Amino acid sequence: MSTAGFNSQNGTGTGQAYANGPSQNPVALQQLPGVSYSMTHQQTYNPMQAKAPVPPGPGLYPSGPYQPVPPVSSYQPGPPPTSFPSPPGQPLLTRPPMGGPPSHTPPQSASPSPGPRLPPAQGTPPPPTVSSSSYYPNPQQPQPMAPAWQYNTPPPPMGTPTSMSAPPRGPVANHVNPAASSTALPPPPSSVAFSSPPPAHVSHTATQPPGPRMPPTSAHRYTQPGTAPPPMNPMAPHTYQPSRAPYGPPPTGPPPTMKPTLPPTGPPMANATPPPPKADGTAAGNGPQAPNSYNHVDNKMAGLPQPGPPGRHLGHYPSLPPGYQNTSTSHNATSPMHPAMQAATQPYTQAPQPYQQPPGGPGPAQLSPSLAAMSLQSSTPEALRVVNLLQERNLLPPTPIPAPTPCLPQDLQKINCNPEVFRCTLTSIPQTQSLLNKAKMPLGLLLHPFKDLSQLPVVTSSTIVRCRSCRTYINPFVSFLDQRRWKCNLCYRVNDVPEEFMYNPVSRSYGEPHKRPEVQNATIEFIAPSEYMLRPPQPAVYLFVLDVSHNAVETGYLNVFCQSLLDNINSLPGDTRTKVGFITFDSTIHFYNLQEGLSQPQMLIVSDIEDIFLPTPDSLLVNLNECKELVQDLLKSLPNLFEKTMETQSALGSALQAAFKLLSPTGGRMSVFQTQLPNLGVGALQSREDPNQRASAKDIQHLSPATDFYKKLALDCSGQQVAVDLFLLSAQYCDLASLGCISRYSAGSIYHYPSYHHQHNPAQVECFQKDLKRYLTRKIGFEAVMRIRCTKGLSIHTFHGNFFVRSTDLLSLPNVNPDAGFAVQMSIEENLDDMQVVSFQAALLYTSSKGERRIRVHTLCLPVVNSLSDIFAGADVQAITGLLACMAVDRSVTASLSDARDAMTNAAIDSLSSYRQSVLTIQQPGLLAPACLRLFPLYILALLKQKSFRTGTSTRLDDRVFAMCQLKYQPLAYAMLMIHPALYRVDDLTDEGALNINERTIPQPRLLQLSVEKLSREGAFLMDAGMVMYLWIGRNCHPNFLTQVLGVPNYAAVPDNLYLLPELDTAESQRTRAFIGWLRDQRPFFPSLHVIRDESQRKASFMQNMIEDRTESALSYYEFLLHLQQQISK
């Protein structure tokens, strides 16, 4: 791992503080040409494929950092795991022997097959159209191509990308070692290949693959202009697929009546051979890279994915007439989990598990007997139960479902990584890329690496045991050949066990290395020895940059900020070295001298914003302990200092440059508060929003940055270990698409409070206060890097999240926080024929706020399967939805919103079509899905109606862009609530089935479908949409609820802007408040609550989340299912 690391207050281990931190190498990184915030998915099955080549803009969304998230799915549901290292034993389903022929599947050819279909541009209610964008490559029929997402192939070469030539200023802390990168790190295919046929299989080798070099897409790292970009996230070029016919537009108007057609009489066309793959879809070459000061950058993860997806059967099946037959389904735990937060009630505890691994015992090499015993042929697992979506109406389970459990031997599964931390879209990994292409599902990881954990084993050791070849950290899934030798589970090298590792500090015994905590826990934290540091660990440094223009003073945010910081100043993470500083700005920049010895803070004004300088560099960042009284004096006086200002201009760019100069020597966190569009000096922006086009059904413009100023500055910040967090509090358009780059590329966070005003919007004020308290006091890691490793044969390409990609698999995170999620896409480069399991490992190196260098390591183990039915049985529908959402955000920015919408629709069409053609043995009429994917069409429809992707509904541009940022940044559990909200009836809460937490009784009402038919005028319903909650009161709601919970005598007396429930001493009030409080406690941000009546202005927002209902511009769930069936039956 590299020496740069995160500093955070994770874990409770007490180790001495080491004085080294990431060092700053004097080699400046150079920008990769064409870095962009784009979906660089390189997988062959890429549902998001652009209709035509679109050059990347200067500041497209960068693909997130490489971060594998451990897949957590299983063939059979089980109760949510309760202990961190090992979920309680969920029933494991059996599946066919790994080496045998695929069960229930027709012969599968390895040749590429039809790509996913992309819906065409929508009509007026634009039904999810099937146009030429899709996630899958190489359609079978030789027809005009439809864009698609290719999930697992490298992208074709692309045109000249825009280059960003400004190298970061000053030394950059950690670079990739040229020697290491050119030999050990061949570039993984970098971006989502947009429907170009996958290249022929290339064996895994450390040398540069032949073929044209591809420009990278991610703006997260520098490359030397003029050389082949390093294998980062090259942007996926959009190419035409001549082999797919465009599909007709989806139906508009009432659901079409569908005449049953006869099933095809001939044999299914399972093995039609698609056109051969183009020769140009090769991976990017290795350009020279800056020297890396991180230890051992020698992951060997590169190479090319294999040929494309398999063929598609195009038979016609009789359709059912509209109208659901209310046959309720059994809700088994394997079904895709509901978006509601599943982690709330049973946090994983990370106590060491008694995993006994005798010498030689069950490492990857010895697993075949135990795995072969599991066979699917005896009975069909619940995950593969056939569900006719057109007949089974009530598919939504009444309670949140845990993540699926991988089908592993029990001794491995009980110590596997917690799914809340590491999760995979497929819990059974296909043996080959061609098998993955046939399944038409994306392969990727979702990761929440710095999550707050109730128990975290912390190890202090002078020797951290790692593989000598690939540098993998020893973990529960390695094999001990004997007491003195262990075999790496990623590269299979045999390593010696160091003498120190023979002693077990927990049991105080000698000679049992397989019982040490490192081999008992899938998540562990090491206190790093001095070789993991190239400079002393940096102190915690916090710089606040505050907008004090007239507009800012009007919102009243300054009072709330100053009071909140005063209240929490003693809770800022840090130690005796912690430093703070303040900058305010309007048309000029104001610094504050807080040097010890002054009687009061001294304000210094710099009016030359074109050539910014620091007036007194040594006294602007001061030691918090030594100067706390001056800091408190400043916070008390700031709101009054500017209350009469008439300055309306905002020189944000110059203020950011000044802050960068101030933080560069140390690194740290910059917190920026902005209330309007910057309109003066560098980085000035102009309004690009046309309010008349907000409800346009056409493509949405201006989703990409207007300037690359903020992106370039973010890259400079990242090089100096500075992260920028942006708080946007505004009622006007602020161009978040441009401003957001400052946080996106520096690993910061973005907070958005639209229409913020201290008097007119008290609910937003409450949100801001609660979010700010969490922000100021949560743990933090400084100067961090994260690397994701995977078993030989697998390759990581595109990352999603906020970070800068420093080398193929190394993410630079100047700050890491416990609320940030990441996603990564993968492909299979070499056949995994001789493997029973594969593993993924994420290692996060950071500096804690106490100045300790720490390494947090997560390891996930998953089985390898060789049949399509097993792949489908292990599908994790929520993880798939979360990854597709990230890919769709990138597609919206690099191509167009309509392309992204089409690609998402095609993802559902293609996976269900593949299931029908390749897994079902008996063809039946209807829209058939396996039970584990029964919610997939519902989630795709929810995405199409989500604020990020909806059309035909008035949506402010900043609100849309913020929703997109959230989908890429939020961990999966929170993102799913934003995609598919949870609806509960709360006027009849009881203690039946309630949880007992900290002596509080938490009612557990059933989850309801998002349809008006589930509402009742006699009831009250709570909708939890992640960032916001709505309490809808029916017109004839029972008077008892109104008086006992809302404290009003009747319906007419419910106030219009009620956002707080009164604390009444009644059982009903306590139950309702306990339930809402419990929901809020499960997430790190504070959702506001709005009590609404039929007459409320916010009723429209509530109704827009009724995903299953038809609107003027979108299909109902049933109409969407008919549309999918039409496309699948073509």
Helices (H), ranges, 331-393:
368-372
pLDDT of amino acid 45: 58
Kindly state the average pLDDT of the residues 791-820. Answer: 94
Kindly state the average pLDDT of the residues 796-818. Answer: 94
Question: Tokens 């059996």 identify what position?
Answer: 94
Contact by Cβ (8 Å): 775, 1095: no
Helices (H), ranges, 858-933:
868-873, 877-894, 897-918
pLDDT of amino acid 451: 97
Bridge-based pairing state of the strands 523-527 and 541-547: unpaired
| Residue 420 token pair | 């809340």
Amino acid at position 703, single letter: L
Query: How far apart are alpha carbons 402 and 411 in whole angstroms?
Result: 20
Counting Cα atoms < 13 Å in the Cβ hemisphere of 405 gives 29
Percentage of residues in the chain having pLDDT higher than 90: 59
| Residue 65 token pair | 């950092």
From the DSSP assignment, how many helices (H) and strands (E) are in the chain? 22, 36
Counting Cα atoms < 13 Å in the Cβ hemisphere of 433 gives 35
pLDDT band for 153, please (50, 70, 90 cuts).
low
pLDDT tens track for 370-415: 443 344 444 688 999 999 999 998 899 998 878 999 999 999 999 9
**3-state SS of 754-771?**
ECCCCCCCHHHHHHHHHH
Amino acid at position 538, single letter: Q
Tell me, what DSSP letter sits at residue 182? I
Kindly state the average pLDDT of the residues 1078-1098. Answer: 93
Query: How far apart are alpha carbons 875 and 870 in whole angstroms?
Result: 9
Contact by Cβ (8 Å): 293, 22: yes
Kindly state the average pLDDT of the residues 829-844. Answer: 96
Higher-pLDDT residue of 986, 352: 986
If we measure between CA atoms, which residue out of 839, 867, 919, 832 comes closest to residue 95? Answer: 867
pLDDT tens track for 195-248: 333 333 433 433 344 444 443 333 343 334 344 444 343 333 333 333 333 343
pLDDT of amino acid 801: 97
Query: How far apart are alpha carbons 809 and 815 in whole angstroms?
Result: 18
The CA R_g of the chain, rounded to the nearest whole Å, is 28
CA–CA–CA angle 1108, 950, 705 (5° rounding): 155
Query: How far apart are alpha carbons 954 and 983 in whole angstroms?
Result: 23
| Residue 429 reports pLDDT greater than 70 | yes
Kindly state the average pLDDT of the residues 966-981. Answer: 97
Tell me, what DSSP letter sits at residue 75? S
* Contacts of 920-923 spanning 24+ positions with Cβ under 8 A: 920/104, 920/386, 921/104, 923/263, 923/315, 923/317
pLDDT tens track for 319-367: 333 334 433 334 433 333 333 444 333 333 333 333 344 444 444 434 4
| Weakest-pLDDT range from 123-127, 305-309, 599-603, 978-982 | 305-309
If we measure between CA atoms, which residue out of 419, 74, 339, 437 comes closest to residue 882? Answer: 339
Q: What are phi and psi of 750, to 5 degrees?
A: -125, 130
CA quadruple 357, 360, 361, 365: dihedral sign: positive
Q: Is 1035 exposed, middle or buried, given 0-12, 13-18 or 19+ CB atoms closer than 10 A?
A: exposed
Query: Can you spell out the DSSP letters for 547-596?
Result: E-SHHHHHHTHHHHHHHHHHHHGGGSS--TT-EEEEEEESSSEEEEE--T
Query: How far apart are alpha carbons 1119 and 253 in whole angstroms?
Result: 9
Contact by Cβ (8 Å): 1110, 1119: yes
Query: How far apart are alpha carbons 50 and 1029 in whole angstroms?
Result: 35
| pTM of the entire predicted model | 0.73
pLDDT of amino acid 262: 42
Residues paired with residue 668 on neighbouring β-strands, in sequence order: 722
Query: How far apart are alpha carbons 513 and 324 in whole angstroms?
Result: 59
pLDDT band for 447, please (50, 70, 90 cuts).
very high
Question: Tokens 């809020």 identify what position?
Answer: 1080
Q: What is the mean pLDDT of the chain?
A: 76
Query: How far apart are alpha carbons 1092 and 1000 in whole angstroms?
Result: 27
pLDDT band for 497, please (50, 70, 90 cuts).
very high
If we measure between CA atoms, which residue out of 802, 790, 778, 788 comes closest to residue 845? Answer: 788
Which residues, at least 6 apart from 526, have a Cβ–Cβ distance to it below 8 Å? 458, 459, 460, 461, 464, 473, 854, 855, 857
Which residues, at least 6 apart from 560, have a Cβ–Cβ distance to it below 8 Å? 758, 765, 768, 769, 772
Query: How far apart are alpha carbons 599 and 890 in whole angstroms?
Result: 52
| Residue 696 token pair | 């346009």
Which residues, at least 6 apart from 524, have a Cβ–Cβ distance to it below 8 Å? 456, 457, 458, 459, 517, 518, 856, 857
**From the CB of residue 462, how many other CB atoms can be counted at a distance below 10 Å?**
9
Question: Highest-confidence range of 114-128, 166-180, 677-691, by mean pLDDT?
Answer: 677-691
Residues paired with residue 279 on neighbouring β-strands, in sequence order: none
Higher-pLDDT residue of 5, 860: 860
pLDDT of amino acid 610: 94
* Contacts of 1033-1037 spanning 24+ positions with Cβ under 8 A: 1033/1091, 1033/1092, 1033/1093, 1035/1093, 1035/1094, 1037/987
pLDDT tens track for 1061-1083: 999 999 999 999 999 999 999 99
Higher-pLDDT residue of 504, 401: 504
pLDDT of amino acid 313: 37
Helix%, strand%, coil% for the chain, nearest 5? 20, 15, 60
H or E element at residue 90: none
Question: Tokens 């590792």 identify what position?
Answer: 501
Kindly state the average pLDDT of the residues 546-556. Answer: 96
Kindly state the average pLDDT of the residues 560-569. Answer: 98
Residues paired with residue 503 on neighbouring β-strands, in sequence order: 510
pLDDT of amino acid 436: 97
Length of the chain: 1130
